[in-house]
Structure 1
Amino acid sequence: MTASDQIRPLCAPRAPAPPGPPGLRRAGPALAVYAAVRVTGLAVLALWSSLAGNDAHRLLSRRWDSLWYARVAEQGYGWEVVLPDGAVHSNLAFFPLLPWLERLGSWLTPLAAPDVGLVVSAVASLAAAWGVFAVAERLYGGAAGVTAVALWAVLPVGIVQSMAYSESLFTALAAWALYALLRERWVAAGLLASLAGLTRPVGMAVTAAVLVGVALTARRERRLTPAMAAGALLSPLGAGAYVVWAGLRAGDPLLGYLRVQEGWGNGFDGGLAFARFIGSLLAGPGFWGGLGLTAGLALLAWLCVRCVRQRQPVVLLVYAGTVVALAVCASGYFGSKPRLLLPAFPLLLPLAVALARWSAARRGLLLAGAGLLSAGYAGLWLNGSGPP
């Protein structure tokens, strides 16, 4: 019987699963691998930045979106920038959980908000790696779990996991929400989904997974338990509350938040703008960049198909599919798309299962090489255009 044959379509494996959440004894190797990749990436970034005359600490904590999060933490919402073309960038576009944690950390410690953001990301990234391991181990075993964490760590944009950004915090909440769904812990899944919804707009992917999981289980069992109902009701509360509140601040409780995003050039057009962008590259001097993006999209589509053919639980397919759809089909900030795909870790599970069949030495050599390449890319990326 193959690993894919052991997976129930909805949530849990048919074969006996490891008892309870993985503690340090089981998750320790995965966390050690993850920490080694992150330390290597930070060391290469520090060296690269020094040679380039930049400050690695500033690149990680005081540039791009990290400045917006810190301003929310320090001064609250209501600040905006009007660009020369008349577009309005409002800090209402940034969801509040990370700024809340930065404000709390600044109140409890002498650290400034951006530095608290670094601490939050460091802790959350370890929690995310633990959650990725928990999901993969429950479905495919310990070797696949460690490999999945390593693959998530060595992604080319993995340095974002160590920045004062919200990707690590969101991925931690999403991974543990999915693990709760696999164990049919509906209330825990709903609470984690609600917190994920307070972290990033893509929190709706976690909510969708909870709602689909509850609906399919209720249909299968022909009953809706109080725990299922509570999980379903809790899951959209975080995002829903913030979107309505931000809409009220923007002048319209229903459409206000969408208008805030429009000011940033963000929207959902089914990928038409992204397709036109790639087409313009292929037709001009950026041909090789366009070809690279086309190859990346083909790889992404292949991974999605592999997840389906692997018979991953429906809740994972719904979550990863929603993350991919929101990232690829958004109309703005094309350079952000790799970063926006970072939380879609279920896409890595087919590769993790395949690599787990290799010998430990062969697998370790491949992942070590990928980690070094990722570290080099991080130094080049953050000392260049960086993650918009």
Structure 2
Amino acid sequence: MTDLATRAAPPTVTALRRAAPALLGYAAVRALGLLTLALWSAARGKSAYTLLTARWDALWYARVADLGYGYQVRLPNGDVHSNLAFFPLLPWLERGLAAVTPLSYADAGFVVSLLASLAAAWGIFAVADHVYGRSAGVFAVLLWAVLPVGIVQSMAYSESLFTALAAWSLYAVLTGRWLTAGSLAALAGLTRPVGLAVVAAVWAAGIASFVRERSTADARAGECAPAPPGDGPTRRVRASGGAPGTPSAPTAVRRALAMLLAPLGAVGYVLWVGHHTGKGPLGYLDVQAGWRNGFDGGLAFARFVADKFTSFPEALAGVGLIVGVGGVVWLYVVCVRQRQPLPLLVYAGVVTALALCASSYFGSKPRLLLPAFPLLLPLALALSRLRTSRSALVVGGVAVASAVYGAFWLNGSGPP
């Protein structure tokens, strides 16, 4: 894998100016998606704003912001849907914003999502720019914007907030700002269960850095060790008292603190749920079981796909699902072959595994993959090597298709 680069991050104003084309392009794509949704919804007699802020998960987050935890619904089949399944950072932000503005909790969720989506786009650009350069960074952001489920980035959901925290945490790791990386990872862990992917990335980077530095130090120490008598001039250890490549004590401490900070958000909330429900440290798993959600290694998803082949029209959907999953796996293999930095590979791998191997809500899997932006970097790199006119045509065409699909998708009967 590519060694972890730790060159300093640029100043904020310079970084924002550098990211401006990506952010303007992102805003244009999202505006197209929202306009298409508004027109489509109006034609069907629905409110686009209600679809974005007051349905499905958005309602659950708003209820947490309003009433706190403890609300649940018992379905006719006996399943219990508890709002403890929803992590607290987004509701906290909704409550805080509603407290200082005239906005309702739903309105606040929409504002948080819009701002977080811009922060996520900037973070994705920063990561891609750091690894592959500015042009690849711009296309990485545009590709994230034109994903078929990109409309979720403008909903009062937690995907945009989580992706923003994850992207900036990964960027902090890549630029050697360990305490920032650990703090953002802890916040990501308070946002969604998949926050564990950010924790894993910080830990992988920290362990790899430690192993690499120890190996370098041992090698340099061996070079500087005294030679055996009679074998020539004596080589002595440098006057500094250590081999080059040995990390300074403050850096090692910051890295260790980051690794301690990173899991606090996710672990803290899960332990609180266990205490709140009286079911012990794994009580959160019982909450998820009430939603018929869990991790089974992909068996339920495989059965779901296999069932599509029981009739001809459904078989076409089954083929589409297989092609889609194959495409995701292929992109990850390309990321590995292109030697992406270790934290990006770990993060994308965990997000992908958790999304594909969850045992329920199969229609939501594309949304669950939304934060796995490192998978887009090979495509962004390929687009950056095309002529500008060709790449613009590709992105523009996909943006239109994505806007139409997003409008059709949200006006459907089921949750995204």
For this structure pair, what is the TM-score category when the shorter chain's length is used for normalisation? over 0.9
Query: What's the counterpart of residue 166 of structure 1?
Result: 158
- State whether structure 2 residue 260 is matched by structure 1 residue 268: no
For 2:259 and 2:54, locate their aligned partners in 1 and report how far apart those are by CA, in whole Å.
37
For 2:51 and 2:10, locate their aligned partners in 1 and report how far apart those are by CA, in whole Å.
42
Query: What's the counterpart of residue 339 of structure 1?
Result: 367
For 1:143 and 1:18, locate their aligned partners in 2 and report how far apart those are by CA, in whole Å.
18
- State whether structure 2 residue 392 is matched by structure 1 residue 364: yes
Q: Which amino acid aligns with 1:111?
A: L
For 1:107 and 1:234, locate their aligned partners in 2 and report how far apart those are by CA, in whole Å.
29
What are the residue-to-residue correspondences of 1:1-150 with 2, within 5 Å?
9-12=2-5, 19=10, 23-150=15-142
Which of 247, 260, 263 aligns to 2:274? It is 247
The structure whose Rg is larger is 2
- Aligned pairs, how many? 379
Q: Which amino acid aligns with 1:283?
A: T
For 1:228 and 1:59, locate their aligned partners in 2 and report how far apart those are by CA, in whole Å.
43
Tell me the SS of whatever aligns to 1:81: strand
TM-score norm. by structure 1 comes to 0.95
- State whether structure 2 residue 336 is matched by structure 1 residue 308: yes
1:272-292 deviation per Cα after TM superposition (whole angstroms, max 9, x unaligned): 000000000022351111111
Q: Which amino acid aligns with 2:275?
A: L
Deviates more, 1:52-61 or 1:216-225: 216-225
TM-score norm. by structure 2 comes to 0.89
- State whether structure 2 residue 185 is matched by structure 1 residue 193: yes
Which of 189, 213, 229 aligns to 2:256? It is 229
1:226-271 deviation per Cα after TM superposition (whole angstroms, max 9, x unaligned): 0011000000000111000011112123121000000001111000
Structure 1 residue runs without a partner (length 5+): 1-7
Identical columns (%): 62
For 2:11 and 2:359, locate their aligned partners in 1 and report how far apart those are by CA, in whole Å.
41
CA contact (8 A) 1:152 1:158 kept: yes
For 1:132 and 1:113, locate their aligned partners in 2 and report how far apart those are by CA, in whole Å.
28
1:310-362 deviation per Cα after TM superposition (whole angstroms, max 9, x unaligned): 10001000000000000000101001100000000000000000110011111
1:116-156 deviation per Cα after TM superposition (whole angstroms, max 9, x unaligned): 00000000000000000000001111100000000000000
Query: What's the counterpart of residue 195 of structure 2?
Result: 203
How far did residue 220 of structure 1 move? 1.0
For 2:363 and 2:128, locate their aligned partners in 1 and report how far apart those are by CA, in whole Å.
29
Query: What's the counterpart of residue 320 of structure 1?
Result: 348
CA contact (8 A) 2:8 2:176 kept: no
1:292-316 deviation per Cα after TM superposition (whole angstroms, max 9, x unaligned): 1011011011101110011000100
CA RMSD of aligned residues (A): 1.4
Q: Which amino acid aligns with 1:109?
A: T
Structure 2 residue runs without a partner (length 5+): 215-246
